[in-house]
Chain A
C-alpha cells in the first residue's frame, strides 16, 4: 500500500516509518503542512496519516483544502486529546479516522488496514459469514452451524464489528468507540468481559475457535486455515 505520513516530530516519524515499511508498505514522509498538501495533490495514496499540529499549515487546514479539491483519500488524523471532541471529530468525513497521541503502533496498523480495505462504495451486505458462523443484519439473528445463538444487543454489535473486519485485528479502542461510543478508556475490563461472554456463546459449544485474542493489540475473528 502507498501511504503518506505527515509528522513533524522526527522520532515519531522514524518510528512509524520503520514499522510501516517492515510490514511492506511504501511510505512517503513530509514534515511540513504545505508540503503535505502538495504531495496529496500530485500523487495518489491509499491512506494519508496526518498530524494535527504541523509547521507551515496545520493538519485540519490541509484536510480541508484536500477535500475542497474533491480528493477523497482516507485520512487518519493524529491528534492530542484536547482537540478530539470539539474540533476534529466534526470535521472528519466517513472515510476518515483519528488516533489520540500517544498511541500503540498496533492501533495505527489496525486502523490503516480497516480504512484502506473499506470498499469505496458502501455496498452493504445484510449477511456476514465467517466459517460456519452467520450473522443476519436485517433480522438480527446470529447462528453457528445452523444453531441459533441468543445475543444481547451490544454483543450483537460487537460480533458485527468483528465480522465486518474478519481476519483483521480490531483493537480495544476501536471496539469501545464503535460498540459503546466511548472516546475514553474505562478503568475496568469492560471489553475483555464482553469478549469473553461472546466467546462463551459463539465458540465454547463448538469444536473450532473463531474469535482470537491478539496479544497487546486486539481481537480478530477468522475461519480456521
Chain B
C-alpha cells in the first residue's frame, strides 16, 4: 500500500495533530520544570553562601577586622580540601586570607563565568561578593552537580517528549494503516462493481467500527441496486419480447394497406386505423411500464394526502357501473357508512389501482356476472379494499404469476390486456405499504389491498 495514503489517513492525521499538541504541552511543561529545578538548586546554594556571609559579618561586627582575617584563615584551613570558596582582600587588592588568589571585580551574586578569575583549579562556582569594613569579601559554593543535573534534566525532558511523539505517531500510523486496508477493500469492491461484478461485496472484518458500519450500509445499497438491476434487466427483456408482436402486426397491416391502395381497394383506411391502434397499444405499454417504474422507484410521498377510501371507491364504482351494465354485469359497492375509512395516499394512484382491478373484473368475467367492491376493516382491524367477482378465477399458476410483468393467463396475444395492470396495482400497493393478495373464491377471484395501520398525525 502506498505510504502516502497511510500518512494521509485520518488515523495518522489525528495522531499527528495530537502529537503536535502534546509536543507543545511538553515544551511548556519542560520549560517550567527546568526553571523550577534550577531556581530551587540555586536557592539552596544561596542559602549556604548567605549563611557563611552572615557568620563572617557577625565576626567582623563583634570582634573587628583582625578577627575577620583570622576567621577567614580558619575557614580556609578547615576547607583546604573542600571545594568551598572564600576570600578576603584589602583596599589595595592584596589578599588578606582565603583560597582565592585574585580579588573579584564584581559585587553581589555572580555566575560561573566569573569563576575563571578564581585560581582554584578551574571548576565553576557560584559566588557572592561584598565589602565588609575596608576589606572586600567573596564567598562561593561550587556549582558542582547543578550544571550536569540541569543538563541531563534538559535532555531527559527532550527525550521523553520525543518518545511520546514517536509513540503517538506510530499508533496513528498503525490505525491509519488498518483503516487504509479496510478502505482499500471498499475501493476494490466498488471498483469491481463498477466493472460489472454486481455480486461483489465488502468483507466485514475486525471490530465493529465506523468503517464496518459504512461498509454494511454500502453492501445493503449494493443488494438493493442489484435487485433493481435484475428487475430492470427482466423488464427490458420482457418489453423487447412483448413489443415485437404489436409492432409486427402494425407493420403487416401497413404493408397490406399499401397493397390495397395500389389495388384501389377501399379498405386501406381501416387497415391504417388498425395499425394506428396497434401503435397506440405499444405506446400504452410504454406508458404503463414507465408508470410502474416511476411508482416503484420514487421514494417521495409528497403527493400523499389524507383521503377517504370509500369516497374514491364509490366514485369509481359509479363511473364503471354503466360500463359493466353493457355486459349485463352488476357492479356493487359495499361499505359500512357509519365507519370512517381514512388513509394517507395518492388519490390518482389509488384511482388507477381501483380502475385496473374493476376493469380486469369486467373484462374477464362472463356476461351476467356480479362484481363487488368492498371497503372494510379486516380481522386485524386493518383498512382493506377488496374487488371480487364470481367469474372464472385464476389457475394455480396464474395466482402465483399474476403480478409478474406481461403475465397473461391466456397467453394468446389475441386476448385483451397487456399483462401490466396488476403489476401496476402491485407497485401502487407497495408505494402505500399495502399488501395485494389474490385468491380464488371458487367460483370467482378476490383481489384485496390491505393497508398498514395509519400513523397518528
The number of residues on chain A lying at the interface, defined by a beta carbon within 8 Å of a beta carbon of chain B, is: 24
A184, B298: Cβ atoms closer than 8 Å? no
A188, B287: Cβ atoms closer than 8 Å? no
With A85-B303, A184-B291 as known contacts, state yes or no: A189 contacts B323, CB within 8 Å.
yes
With A182-B355, A187-B363, A193-B323 as known contacts, state yes or no: A85 contacts B348, CB within 8 Å.
yes
Measured CB to CB, the nearest residue on chain A to B294 is A82
B294, A193: Cβ atoms closer than 8 Å? no
B319, A180: Cβ atoms closer than 8 Å? yes
Minimum Cβ distance to chain A for residue B282 (Å): 9
How large, as a class, is the contact surface on chain B?
A: 20 to 34
A12 sits at the interface (CB 8 A): no
A187 neighbours in B (Cβ, 8 Å): 359, 363, 416-417, 421
A118 sits at the interface (CB 8 A): no
Minimum Cβ distance to chain B for residue A182 (Å): 7
Minimum Cβ distance to chain B for residue A116 (Å): 27
With A86-B303, A187-B416, A188-B362 as known contacts, state yes or no: A81 contacts B355, CB within 8 Å.
no
Measured CB to CB, the nearest residue on chain B to A216 is B273
Other-chain residue from B300, B352, B417 in contact with A184 (beta carbon distance below 8 A): B352
For A175-198 the 0/1 string (1 means CB < 8 A from B) is 000001111111111100110010
* A-B pairs under 8 A by CB, number: 62
With A182-B351, A188-B323 as known contacts, state yes or no: A102 contacts B417, CB within 8 Å.
no
B322, A193: Cβ atoms closer than 8 Å? yes
Q: Give the distance in Å from the alpha carbon of A86 to the alpha carbon of B363 in the complex.
A: 31
B322, A194: Cβ atoms closer than 8 Å? yes
B326 sits at the interface (CB 8 A): yes
A122 sits at the interface (CB 8 A): no
Q: Which of the listed residues A86, A100, A186, A194 has the most CB atoms from chain B within 10 Å of its own CB?
A: A186
With A86-B298, A193-B326 as known contacts, state yes or no: A81 contacts B319, CB within 8 Å.
no
Minimum Cβ distance to chain B for residue A104 (Å): 9
Q: Which of B45-84 contact A (CB under 8 A)?
A: none
B326, A154: Cβ atoms closer than 8 Å? no
B320 sits at the interface (CB 8 A): yes
With A184-B287, A193-B323 as known contacts, state yes or no: A152 contacts B359, CB within 8 Å.
no
A81, B286: Cβ atoms closer than 8 Å? yes
Q: Which of A117-149 contact B (CB under 8 A)?
A: none
With A86-B300, A154-B318, A190-B323 as known contacts, state yes or no: A81 contacts B421, CB within 8 Å.
no
Measured CB to CB, the nearest residue on chain B to A179 is B319
Minimum Cβ distance to chain A for residue B298 (Å): 7
B318 neighbours in A (Cβ, 8 Å): 152, 154
B323 neighbours in A (Cβ, 8 Å): 188-190, 193
With A85-B348, A86-B300, A86-B303 as known contacts, state yes or no: A188 contacts B322, CB within 8 Å.
no
Measured CB to CB, the nearest residue on chain B to A182 is B351
Minimum Cβ distance to chain A for residue B121 (Å): 96
A82 neighbours in B (Cβ, 8 Å): 290, 293-294
Q: Give the distance in Å from the alpha carbon of A142 to the alpha carbon of B290 in the complex.
A: 41
B287, A100: Cβ atoms closer than 8 Å? yes
Q: Which of the listed residues A82, A85, A100, A188 has the most CB atoms from chain B within 10 Å of its own CB?
A: A188
A183, B348: Cβ atoms closer than 8 Å? yes
Q: Which of A81-98 contact B (CB under 8 A)?
A: 81-82, 85-86
With A186-B355, A194-B322 as known contacts, state yes or no: A81 contacts B362, CB within 8 Å.
no
B336 sits at the interface (CB 8 A): no
A197 neighbours in B (Cβ, 8 Å): 322
Q: Give the distance in Å from the alpha carbon of A82 to the alpha carbon of B286 in the complex.
A: 10
A194 neighbours in B (Cβ, 8 Å): 319, 322
Measured CB to CB, the nearest residue on chain B to A180 is B319
Q: Give the distance in Å from the alpha carbon of A28 to the alpha carbon of B319 in the complex.
A: 42
Q: Give the distance in Å from the alpha carbon of A102 to the alpha carbon of B287 in the complex.
A: 10
A182 neighbours in B (Cβ, 8 Å): 348, 351-352, 355
B197 sits at the interface (CB 8 A): no
A180 neighbours in B (Cβ, 8 Å): 319, 351
B199 sits at the interface (CB 8 A): no
Minimum Cβ distance to chain B for residue A90 (Å): 9
Measured CB to CB, the nearest residue on chain B to A184 is B352
B283 sits at the interface (CB 8 A): yes
Q: Give the distance in Å from the alpha carbon of A154 to the alpha carbon of B321 in the complex.
A: 12
A81, B322: Cβ atoms closer than 8 Å? no
A181, B291: Cβ atoms closer than 8 Å? no
Minimum Cβ distance to chain B for residue A152 (Å): 7
Q: Give the distance in Å from the alpha carbon of A224 to the alpha carbon of B395 in the complex.
A: 55
A181 neighbours in B (Cβ, 8 Å): 347-348, 351
Q: Which of B333-379 contact A (CB under 8 A)?
A: 347-348, 351-352, 355, 359, 362-363
B303 neighbours in A (Cβ, 8 Å): 85-86
Q: Give the distance in Å from the alpha carbon of A181 to the alpha carbon of B421 in the complex.
A: 19
Q: Give the distance in Å from the alpha carbon of A82 to the alpha carbon of B290 in the complex.
A: 6
With A154-B319, A185-B284, A185-B287 as known contacts, state yes or no: A85 contacts B294, CB within 8 Å.
yes
Q: Give the distance in Å from the alpha carbon of A81 to the alpha carbon of B283 in the complex.
A: 10
With A186-B359, A187-B363, A194-B322 as known contacts, state yes or no: A81 contacts B351, CB within 8 Å.
no
Of the A-B pairs whose beta carbons lie under 8 Å apart in the complex, a sample of 11, sorted by A's number, is A82-B290, A100-B287, A180-B319, A182-B348, A184-B355, A185-B284, A187-B359, A187-B421, A194-B319, A194-B322, A216-B273
Q: 14 new A-B pairs (CB below 8 Å) besides A80-B290, A81-B287, A190-B319?
A: A82-B294, A85-B294, A85-B303, A86-B298, A102-B279, A181-B347, A181-B348, A184-B355, A185-B284, A185-B287, A186-B355, A187-B363, A189-B323, A190-B323
Show the binding face of B for A, using Cβ within 8 Å: 273, 279, 283-284, 286-287, 290-291, 293-294, 298, 300, 303, 318-320, 322-323, 326, 347-348, 351-352, 355, 359, 362-363, 416-417, 421
Closest 5 CB pairs of A and B: A81-B290, A193-B322, A81-B287, A82-B290, A193-B323
